[in-house]
């Protein structure tokens, strides 16, 4: 359990990965669409997606020639339960989490 939490929190520690999660709150996305707003290579985005997938925060599925990413919100449950153990944290509110992630999105040229 501790290893799983380490992987989840490590994945959430990066602002690019949090931004990707915010994007996926809206709908499933093709990898190329996920990469669009970021000023980094597709290979770099793929590394971020691999980390999110290993943490169980997203899943990836190939449909035809296109690889799609999907948010897996239940993966947050273990982290939420762990934080609740401190008595100061409520369960993860996905609406509030969405607002937080949207605030974390990179400010770009409106793309």
Kindly report, residue by residue over 34-54, the tens digit of the pLDDT: 999 999 999 999 999 999 999
Domains of the chain, with CATH numbers?
2-103 (1.10.10.10)
pTM of the model: 0.75
pLDDT in tens, 69-101: 999 988 888 888 877 777 665 666 777 777 877
**Residue linked to tokens 């707003």:** 37
Mean pLDDT over each residue of the chain, to the nearest integer: 86
Query: pLDDT band for position 111 (50/70/90)?
Result: very low
Q: Name the residue with higher pLDDT: 105 or 52.
A: 52
CA distance 30 to 62: 9
């Amino acid at each position: 359990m501790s290893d799983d939490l380490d992987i989840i929190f490590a994945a959430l520690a990066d602002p690019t990965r949090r931004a990707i999660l915010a994007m996926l709150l809206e709908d499933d996305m093709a990898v190329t669409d996920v990469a669009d707003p970021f000023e980094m290579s597709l290979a770099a985005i793929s590394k971020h997606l691999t980390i999110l997938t290993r943490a169980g925060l997203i899943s990836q599925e190939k449909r035809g020639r296109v690889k799609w990413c999907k948010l897996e919100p239940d993966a947050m449950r273990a982290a939420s339960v762990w934080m609740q153990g401190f008595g100061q944290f409520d369960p993860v509110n996905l609406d509030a989490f969405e607002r937080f992630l949207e605030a974390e999105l990179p400010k770009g040229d409106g793309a």
